[in-house]
A and B are shown apart, each in its own frame.
Chain A
Amino acid sequence: MKKIIINRVLMILPTVITIAFLAFSIMYFSPGNPAEILMRYRNPEGGTDPAALAHYEEMLGINDPFLTQFENWGAGILTGDFGESFKTGNPVTEEFFYRIGYTLMLSFTGLAFSLVIGITLGFLSAEFKDSWLDNLLRFTQSLKMSIPSFWLALFFIYIFSTQLRWFSAFGYNSPKDLILPGLVLGLSNSSRMVRLVRTCILEEKGSGYVYTARVKGLSEIQIFFKHILKNITLPIITLTGVSLVSMIGGSLIIENIFGLPGIGTYLVSAIVAKDYPVSMGFLFAYGVIIVFINLFIDIVYQFVDPRVRDCANAEI
């Protein structure tokens, strides 16, 4: 098992390098001159003095070849130095760690909602297969797939914030403000979970151990919680990982709508403001977070199923 984990960890390296390369290239090839932008931030009244511009270009190394610039940026990453924000002058890492907490809290709230919704509705759908309830659930799931999350967000804000006044519509003051955006995120990511849980349960219900459990005299609910759930953890974990990834991506939009101070909101405003170091750094961080989530899932995988665990041990 150690060997497998080490393997996975080593495989991350090329992926991370690729992500760094892409994050850098996107900003490198985007139109606009970073030196000019930085100059305007540092000295708003300065006009366009060519000597000053040359100074900033020199400072940023704009005229170096592409690869040299990439190497310099990459070397900075290795020492944890992503440069300073053009806009605020603060180190990018500082800006990042200040905001990542909100994004993670939002994503995990979303994940919790999507798991609870997915497992509950999936169970009901399977248990009452082909009944009106199952049909209704399946209809709403496919409906939900075609509703964009921002629409759902605006709809929820209208109902729960504007009309009912249960939640504030914008900004972050207390953990309670995570509920509504988390619910939106969870709901818009739960359709696949509902369907997966339903299909898995129906499949497992035909298997021998479920018959044995019935023979033992267990009720269907007991059979679900004590037997089926554990057997379908692997697909659920896999999808959870995929969902978490798409939630961290989706949080970008949701954070903006709900005005949460996470990395999504900041990244969008950095891109708009052409704040190059922040944009590159945050794009890179998004990619790396996603890679690490996948790694984490691979490793959790090894521990959940005794069969996978033993196969892995046998390989050594």
Chain B
Amino acid sequence: MKKEKLLEVEQLNIKFTTSIGDVNVSDNINFTLNKGETFCIVGESGCGKSVVALSLTRLLPENAVINGSVKFEGFTISDLDDKEFAKIRGQKIATIFEQPMSCINPVMRIGEQIAETYRANFKCSKKEAKLQALKKLEEVKLPANRYNAYPHELSGGMQQRVMIAIALACNPQLLIADEPTTSLDVTVQYQILELLQELKEKYHMTILMITHDMGVVHDMADRIGVMYAGNMMEIAERDAFFKQPLHPYAQELLNVVKDPCHYTIPGTVPNLMEIFSGCPFEPRCQKATEMCKTYKPENSVRDERMVRCLNVIPN
């Protein structure tokens, strides 16, 4: 079966110019999202995952310099003007952020916030929008009498459900979920993931899930991208990945999952202001050679698998 591509990211480079120097957050990143799949980008905090996600919907602040191409349904998004893009952003791509409390308006009733999304994108009466919003509340399993609640009256899990309802108000094709469960309790995390899975199947959505939690990846992903210090280190299908991760960083991430209480990857994520002459993971890598210090690894691709490491070739 030929997979249809929804989003194609090619040679994406992002840097922030700041008063104390440039921050390189994305270094020649390539990946594609196929229709209907869940693609997880995983990596430690500070690797640039959120920035890459924000760049897809042109939400980065002005000090970001973006190069490369992002195609959504075949259109290059940087070619569209603000108005055209706002339409795509509203109707076809939805985003859920990590902190639900700060991402819904604290002084507006939650039902209105859902209805507003619908009204912003489709011409309809207030009443119709309210009906839609009530339907969405039901879909995310919040009781209808919560329509008039304010965000602070809800628990974190319920707030995230509201975020999901807002995101799904226009039945988007692509849902970008940036650490949607990180701020929640473990049991609630599980419920939210289950809800996302259920809605994904119902609406045939494509999900780009960003997380630092391998457990979430294991539960949700169809394909996985491992990101480290602005570099996409490995892209693989789920089963192949968990059977044998190829990149030393990916292997380390899985080592942590196997023994979360005792094992940590030595060292820390580098400051992205550094300019790496070799592989950015080299200082923490147990398999590094002399070469890794001086040569930047290139992407090597075979079939569905990509690895960016001098010592590993996908097979």
Residues of A at under 8 Å CB distance from B?
Answer: 207-209, 211-219, 222, 226-227, 230-231, 305-307, 310
- A208 surroundings in chain B (CB, below 8 A): 97, 99, 102-104
The docked-state distance in angstroms from the alpha carbon of A34 to that of B57 is: 77
Beta-carbon contact of B103 and A306 below 8 Å: no
Beta-carbon contact of B105 and A231 below 8 Å: yes
Known: A212-B104, A307-B107. 18 other contacts (CB 8 A): A208-B99, A209-B102, A209-B104, A209-B105, A212-B163, A214-B86, A214-B89, A215-B94, A215-B167, A216-B116, A217-B86, A217-B87, A217-B117, A227-B105, A230-B105, A230-B107, A231-B107, A306-B107
Beta-carbon contact of B104 and A307 below 8 Å: no
14 A-B residue pairs with CB within 8 Å: A208-B102, A209-B105, A211-B103, A215-B89, A215-B94, A215-B167, A216-B116, A218-B90, A226-B116, A227-B108, A231-B106, A231-B107, A305-B107, A307-B107
Beta-carbon contact of B121 and A209 below 8 Å: no
Cβ-based interface call for B31 (8 A): no
Q: Which of the listed residues B99, B105, B106 has the most CB atoms from chain A within 10 Å of its own CB? A: B105
- B166 surroundings in chain A (CB, below 8 A): 212, 216
Q: Shortest beta-carbon distance, B155 to chain A, in Å?
A: 15
- A207 surroundings in chain B (CB, below 8 A): 102
Cβ-based interface call for B95 (8 A): yes
Chain B 53-75 interface mask (CB, 8 Å, partner A; 1/0): 00001010000000000000000
Q: Which residue of A lies closest to B172 (CB)?
A: A215
Cβ-based interface call for B24 (8 A): no
Residues of B at under 8 Å CB distance from A?
Answer: 57, 59, 86-87, 89-91, 93-95, 97, 99, 102-108, 116-117, 120-121, 150, 152-153, 163, 166-167, 169
- B153 surroundings in chain A (CB, below 8 A): 310
Q: Shortest beta-carbon distance, A200 to chain B, in Å?
A: 14
Q: Which residue of A lies closest to B95 (CB)?
A: A215
- B152 surroundings in chain A (CB, below 8 A): 306-307, 310
- A306 surroundings in chain B (CB, below 8 A): 106-107, 150, 152
The docked-state distance in angstroms from the alpha carbon of A212 to that of B105 is: 9
Beta-carbon contact of B106 and A212 below 8 Å: no
- Given A230-B107, A307-B152, A310-B152, A214 and B59 touching (CB < 8 A)? yes
- A218 surroundings in chain B (CB, below 8 A): 86, 90, 116, 120
- Given A216-B120, A306-B152, A211 and B90 touching (CB < 8 A)? no
- Given A218-B120, A307-B152, A213 and B105 touching (CB < 8 A)? yes
The docked-state distance in angstroms from the alpha carbon of A245 to that of B271 is: 51
The docked-state distance in angstroms from the alpha carbon of A207 to that of B105 is: 10
Which 3 residue pairs are nearest across A and B when measured between Cβ atoms?
A: A217-B90, A208-B103, A208-B102
- B163 surroundings in chain A (CB, below 8 A): 212
Q: Which residue of A lies closest to B91 (CB)?
A: A217
Q: Shortest beta-carbon distance, A222 to chain B, in Å?
A: 7
The docked-state distance in angstroms from the alpha carbon of A55 to that of B171 is: 91
**B121 contacts which of A217, A226, A227, A310 (Cβ < 8 Å)?**
A217
The docked-state distance in angstroms from the alpha carbon of A219 to that of B121 is: 11
Beta-carbon contact of A219 and B103 below 8 Å: no
